[in-house]
Structure 1
Amino acid sequence: MAARRSNATAPYRCTECGWTTLRWAGRCGECQQWGTVVEAAEQTGIARRIEPVAPGAARAARPITAFDTSETPRRTTGVGEFDRVLGGGLVPGAAILLSGEPGVGKSTLLLEVAAHSALAGRRVLYATAEESSAQVRLRAERTGALHDELFLASETDLATILGHVDEVEPELLIVDSVQTVSSAHSDGIAGHPSQVREVASALIRLAKERGLPVIVVGHVTKDGSIAGPRILEHLVDVVCHFEGDRQTSLRFVRALKNRFGPTDEVGCFDMTGTGIDEVPDPSALFLGRGAAVPGTCVTIAVEGRRALPVEVQALTIKNGGPNPRRVVSGVDSARVAMVLAVLERRAGIPVSDQDVYVSTVGGVRLVEPAADLAIAIAVANSVLDRTLPAGVAAVGELTLAGEIRPVTQAAQRRGEAERLGYRNLVDSFSETLRGALDDLRGGAAVAGRAPLDDLPDF
């Protein structure tokens, strides 16, 4: 029997979009999500009659010009990089969702935030549903987060957590995590979409009624998206994502949604044996420390509103086989393949018979096209066995015609390059890749090597 969208008596309902059907289905016929169709405990309420509220019983509507436009008061978390991402600090009544892969450091960061808030005299309740109180205490001892104003509760029941809120009366509530807390008012086990929606709704309602900032931790799926119903991201005010490579200690916090500030800020952190440290100026993390060698070039990348110098390294080895290797780390393999094709066809640099290895320093990942020119220069210098002159950086997007296109936030990139001592920034002023390589001929010689030869003709 065909499903009906508006059937109020349908016994099955999608927890994501509210689509109803008379028979169970593994996939929702409306939003195409798998595993979201569950048995409805009650009618959806769509067909019910809604009685209007008597005049005067509700808050009166006013003209938009009558509302106060003063800035919402904020208070610092004590962690400057986290404040940067939040837009200046915590807003009373804000609901914040922090997501990230397991083991990336979400709990460590929030314990640091809780400790700084407690040190400032604000009472904090840290409700952990994944770890025992002893485990959190051991981490707090290691990171120096012990304070009498930091209260800890190891609970998985929503009603019990709300009871602790009434008893402690905190100024900041942290729940770790929303997928492991369950409510008796909803069917299913903890982590079920209906449970996640019920728990999140209750916590957000608590935040709005009491003006209490609430930070909840969210799990992620295999593809990196936030687990649970999509409505979870719509309900909260701020969605932050904590990311980083487990092979390095560098961590980034990005704001994917922020009702109180910009969404293009990035916070940098460094995971250490004693916790997590802020990195207000991460410039030195992405640059090589040794002497200049052939096949290196610095580019100025932009993470959020922050300009960062990143060193791109390339290594080429002659290969007599029919299929040379292309190995990349920290850059997009498709972009590198395009850059190599432009290098050979438009600039005459032979790379089709070379094994090419391209990597970034410090584990940072370059995803913007502005790194194309630096990759091309690094590979070209590796093939020609030449180094760049001191104080040279490159920023630009390459086209298939070999042209260098301007990039966004060029003034900010140039300012950061000058601050770090890069006197010559190779960019779209050179117009073409071949022109940029021509501009770099002068002074590119290294002691013990001959000057850079002319590039081969087409």
Structure 2
Amino acid sequence: MAKIKTRYVCQICGYVNPKWLGKCPECLKWNTFVEEVEEKVSSKTVSTVTGGKSSSKPVKINSIISNKEERFSTNIPELDRVLGGGIVPGSLILVGGDPGIGKSTLLLQVSSNISESGKKVLYITGEESENQIKMRASRLNINSENLYIYTENNLASIELQIADIKPDVMIVDSIQTMVSPEISSAPGTVSQIKEGTSKFMKISKKNSISTFIVGHVTKEGSLAGPRLLEHMVDTVLYFEGERYNSYRLLRAVKNRFGSTNELGVFEMKNRGLVELENPSKVLISEKPENVSGSVIVSTVEGTRSMLLELQALVAPTNFGYPRRTTTGVDNNRVALILAVLEKVVGIQIQNQDVFINIVGGLKINEPSMDLGIALSVASSFRNIPIDSGIVVTGEVGLTGEIRTVSFIEKRITECEKLGFNKIIIPKGNYSKKFDKDYSIEIIPVTNLRQSISEALGR
């Protein structure tokens, strides 16, 4: 009897080694190698691949007739915005996010909306039973004749059902549970994930079926499985948010058919995910009055201008080394701004604990948050409230200068629409025509000292 040959494959990057290793030499991760049975390729298969005749031939680009297929809507404007205007027929979309964040709920709502428009939708799940899907559908008031539920993880059986039903849209929940009978490794391994994604990609492109694939994430927040998974698909969406917070953010980190800068905002309620058409109004609705350390900041995500409440708390430390705790903003960026406050402005916070938080559980990395962080820290340290009618925006340089930001007119318009009195902006963004075009008072500033003086009134 022939001996079964095995190999060890890194579950992060797909690196293959004949022996087990504690640390992967490719991605430098620990304890990621899993034993798999080595796949044997017959000589007949090799000769067919290398020597067989192919039906495709190279063609001149000028001779290709482009079929401009129109996108179709999910009837969820927030999702359509992130996708670049809707779903492209035949596209392969990967949706990632933490467990319990709402991926399956969102895709079930998408399935319902698309099926009610007359298109066939096949919802394939390898994690839940039909009764579990029906219970969630009942809670979301989903009842459509064109929505099919198929509980199976065998790729061969799934392929037969796809050929029989011929859906327009397909949902796969999740790719880590799919199993190919041709591969002997366990579900969720690199080989199975690659084979499953490749199979769905071929089916989608050949039959012009738009496919959503759900992918689990690791504890570090990256998609589980090889990086090749993200390269194979057309669009990669990340569903973000704190599990115990009601707000959810949907971002595109890769999109072959649109921008990767757009942001969709949802709120989890009893009837499912509800989109927030005006997130600024909701996110700043509970801002406290006459309290130090709180400021409204204008930020831009993609083409959308949003106003957020940023809070800071500065208190004497009880330890030898002061703490710097941040939620929703980059910790390294906060450390840089605190250093500028000490060196340039003279605020001595080397023996103070500093806590920074964006209200609502959102995560924002845009540089325009810098000025808001600096002003909220100064406000809390000096215990002087910032007027609730003031909005700030601007990037802080290492010498304390306030640098320009993008989409300044969108920011001013949003502030004016929500009834704010003043907005502090970088002087480089200021134009004299703003005084005629807007009723809101615009205060241009050049450095951090001037900004603190304008915001705190001293």
Task: Report TM bin, short chain.
Answer: 0.7 to 0.9
| Counterpart-to-counterpart distance in 2, 1:271 and 1:25 | 44
Show the counterpart of 2:343: 345
81 and 345 in structure 1: CA distance in 2 versus 1, 3 angstrom threshold: same
Show the counterpart of 2:157: 160
Show the counterpart of 2:275: 278
Gaps of 5+ in 1: 1-9, 445-451, 453-458
The aligned runs of 1:266-415 (5 Å cut-off) are 266-287=263-284, 288-317=286-315, 323-415=321-413
| Counterpart-to-counterpart distance in 2, 1:105 and 1:223 | 19
| Counterpart-to-counterpart distance in 2, 1:275 and 1:122 | 22
Q: Over residues 259-309 of structure 1, what are the superposed CA-to-partner deviations in whole Å (9 max), with x where a residue is unaligned? A: 111111111111111211111221123213442422221111222332211
2:451 is aligned, of 433, 436, 442, to: 436
| Counterpart-to-counterpart distance in 2, 1:365 and 1:402 | 24
1:126 is aligned, of 123, 147, 155, to: 123
Q: Over residues 203-243 of structure 1, what are the superposed CA-to-partner deviations in whole Å (9 max), with x where a residue is unaligned? A: 11111111111111111112111112222212111111111
Identity percentage of aligned residues: 37
Name the amino acid aligned to 2:447.
Answer: T
Name the amino acid aligned to 1:414.
Answer: I
CA contact (8 A) 2:156 2:180 kept: yes
Name the amino acid aligned to 2:453.
Answer: D
Name the amino acid aligned to 2:300.
Answer: V
The aligned runs of 1:151-300 (5 Å cut-off) are 151-287=148-284, 288-300=286-298
| Counterpart-to-counterpart distance in 2, 1:321 and 1:232 | 46
| Counterpart-to-counterpart distance in 2, 1:19 and 1:272 | 42
CA contact (8 A) 1:15 1:38 kept: no
1:417 and 2:415 correspond: yes
Deviates more, 1:367-376 or 1:101-110: 367-376
Q: Over residues 384-442 of structure 1, what are the superposed CA-to-partner deviations in whole Å (9 max), with x where a residue is unaligned? A: 3323345321112223322222234434333333333334322322221112223346x
| Counterpart-to-counterpart distance in 1, 2:274 and 2:453 | 43
Name the amino acid aligned to 1:300.
Answer: S
| Counterpart-to-counterpart distance in 2, 1:117 and 1:106 | 17
CA RMSD of aligned residues (A): 2.9
1:140 and 2:147 correspond: no
Show the counterpart of 1:6: none
270 and 390 in structure 1: CA distance in 2 versus 1, 3 angstrom threshold: closer
CA contact (8 A) 1:11 1:20 kept: no
Which has the higher Rg, Structure 1 or Structure 2? 1
Using structure 2 for the length normalisation, give the TM-score: 0.85
Deviation of 1:85 (Å): 1.2
Q: Over residues 343-373 of structure 1, what are the superposed CA-to-partner deviations in whole Å (9 max), with x where a residue is unaligned? A: 2332233434544333222222232332121
1:24 and 2:19 correspond: yes
Show the counterpart of 2:430: none
The aligned runs of 1:46-65 (5 Å cut-off) are 51=50, 58-65=55-62
Deviation of 1:24 (Å): 2.9
| Counterpart-to-counterpart distance in 2, 1:292 and 1:317 | 18
Deviation of 1:310 (Å): 0.9
Deviation of 1:176 (Å): 0.5
| Counterpart-to-counterpart distance in 2, 1:30 and 1:134 | 43
Show the counterpart of 1:66: 63
CA contact (8 A) 2:266 2:273 kept: yes
Name the amino acid aligned to 2:279.
Answer: P
CA contact (8 A) 2:10 2:16 kept: no
Deviation of 1:110 (Å): 0.4
Gaps of 5+ in 2: 428-444
Name the amino acid aligned to 2:63.
Answer: A
Deviation of 1:323 (Å): 4.7
| Counterpart-to-counterpart distance in 1, 2:329 and 2:15 | 41
20 and 106 in structure 1: CA distance in 2 versus 1, 3 angstrom threshold: closer
Name the amino acid aligned to 1:439.
Answer: E
Deviation of 1:36 (Å): 6.2
296 and 44 in structure 1: CA distance in 2 versus 1, 3 angstrom threshold: farther
| Counterpart-to-counterpart distance in 1, 2:89 and 2:408 | 37
SS of equivalent to 1:369: coil
SS of equivalent to 1:436: helix
1:89 is aligned, of 86, 91, 95, to: 86
356 and 20 in structure 1: CA distance in 2 versus 1, 3 angstrom threshold: closer
CA contact (8 A) 2:36 2:185 kept: no
| Counterpart-to-counterpart distance in 1, 2:171 and 2:242 | 25
| Counterpart-to-counterpart distance in 1, 2:275 and 2:80 | 11
CA contact (8 A) 1:28 1:37 kept: no
416 and 37 in structure 1: CA distance in 2 versus 1, 3 angstrom threshold: farther
Deviation of 1:140 (Å): 0.3
Show the counterpart of 1:3: none
Deviates more, 1:401-410 or 1:24-33: 24-33
CA contact (8 A) 1:24 1:38 kept: no
CA contact (8 A) 2:122 2:147 kept: yes
Deviates more, 1:345-354 or 1:226-235: 345-354
| Counterpart-to-counterpart distance in 2, 1:238 and 1:20 | 27
CA contact (8 A) 1:83 1:89 kept: yes
